[in-house]
Structure 1
Amino acid sequence: MSDAKVAELAKQVHDIRKPLNRISMQAELIKLVLENNLPPQKAIEAVDKILQSCQDCSQLLENLSDPSA
């Protein structure tokens, strides 16, 4: 694999980690809401962010599997 391809792959892996980190952080927030009896709206907002991050991650993976897209 050429250096350019390795660099591009590393960039794409980095880009995919961003939505995965958002998912993890929002899941932690939901856990805190449930454990501490906080307003349910916070959990709903976190779930919305998780769903958006999943879509973002799916799009990045689709782009990775089809670079012409």
Structure 2
Amino acid sequence: MADLTAAELAKQVHDIRKPLNRISMQAELIKLVLENNLPPDKAIAAIDKILQSCQDCSQLLENLLNPSA
């Protein structure tokens, strides 16, 4: 990780922010579903997207720590 240039690090940070933003947006959707008594299938779909985004973020962090893997 020490050999990353500033530009490469900025790209990695940008890539990691994408799944974090998806997590935030989906959590807001779940909140709206619960507050407005909307169909639970919307919340379940949002939870699935949150879980996938967490996996994506974990993979990006792993790639950052082990770029040759």
Interval containing the TM-score (normalised by the shorter chain): over 0.9
Q: Distance in 2 between matches of 1:51 and 1:59?
A: 12
4+ residue runs over 4 A deviation: none
Matched residue, 1:14: 14
Unaligned runs of 5+ in 1: none
Report the identity percentage: 85
**TM-score normalised per structure 1:** 0.94
What is the aligned residue count? 68
**TM-score normalised per structure 2:** 0.94
Please give the root-mean-square deviation of Cα atoms over the aligned residues, in Å.
Answer: 1.4
Matched residue, 2:35: 35
Unaligned runs of 5+ in 2: none
